[in-house]
Structure 1
């Protein structure tokens, strides 16, 4: 099943352009979730509901990748979560479709970025602990 998500940043903007594109793609209007809030916010009620609604084998469809999130960390989290739940992802404007071979590559790239981010965090923690130890502080 195709599940759509649309977002605008402010209440005075409308969702029509995005909704029209999703409906044209094949998303049933009843399966489109929306938010009117900044993309920099990780917690969005509409996105949370869409993700909760998704089932194994479904596809999350957005008009444009930046509608899903603006920070790389948040996008990595969402895409990784979808992959782990066997949910596909489509971004219409960018032509990203994880049901295709190039789309599967996209998923693997996001997974690699997530692992890279975790490794960087571990390195920073270790460096901080070592720096604190030199100053006689235990545990950071």
Structure 2
């Protein structure tokens, strides 16, 4: 049986082209999910691996859809080999039924991990360069020091409800709690 597995990393990405390609290749069963390939726990992948039986083939669009880590790819490959399950990719034309297919599986896996490491390295270098120029990542503070002081005074006086304070300060409840968390005791009952 040919079993397909499709994965994208973010909600913005679309699974349809992978699903279409896997169906066109003849997959009888298809598993798909939206999770980073770096994450160890991918429930639908685990489901596909457990569903497959001896003699079946797992088909993926590209090897990096299976995982971005060489260690993880090797673990998956070992698991499949022990169960007598083959692995095929559409883009790299890898088929682990053959010795050369197993060889290319490991080569492409190493490239996938290398690419992932390069992206991470460039991101860290970019953040460091931005920090040296005085730019700090993340969201800017909504409240300046003066507005934060006003917020804390309003909160401590308890003359207004949380909703009213949020309305006055033009902030959301999570923002209010973020700025007042040092004054909130865990067991204090929050009034609304």
- TM-score normalised per structure 1: 0.71
2:24 paired residue number = 24
- 82, 85, 92: which one aligns with 2:83: 85
Q: Secondary structure of the residue that 2:59 maps to in structure 1?
A: strand
- TM-score normalised per structure 2: 0.53
TM superposition shift of 1:104: 4.5
- 16, 28, 34: which one aligns with 1:36: 34
Q: 1:71 to 1:104 in 2, by over 3 A?
A: closer
- Higher relative contact order at CA 8 Å, sep ≥6: structure 1 or structure 2? 1
Q: Deviations over 1:88-122 (max 9, x none)?
A: 00011000012235224447x58xx9xxxxxxxxx
Q: Secondary structure of the residue that 2:20 maps to in structure 1?
A: helix
Highest Rg: 1 or 2?
A: 2
1:48 paired residue number = 46
Whole-Å separation in 2 of the counterparts to 1:50 and 1:106: 22
Q: Secondary structure of the residue that 2:44 maps to in structure 1?
A: helix
2:70 paired residue number = 72
CA RMSD of aligned residues (A): 1.8
Q: Secondary structure of the residue that 1:18 maps to in structure 2?
A: helix
Q: Secondary structure of the residue that 1:38 maps to in structure 2?
A: coil
Whole-Å separation in 2 of the counterparts to 1:71 and 1:81: 15
Whole-Å separation in 1 of the counterparts to 2:42 and 2:99: 30
Task: Mark the runs of 5 or more structure 1 residues left unpaired by the alignment.
Answer: 114-140
Whole-Å separation in 1 of the counterparts to 2:22 and 2:35: 19
1:110-129 matches, cutoff 5 A: none
TM superposition shift of 1:46: 0.5
Structure 1 stretches (4+) deviating beyond 6 angstroms? none
1:8 paired residue number = 8
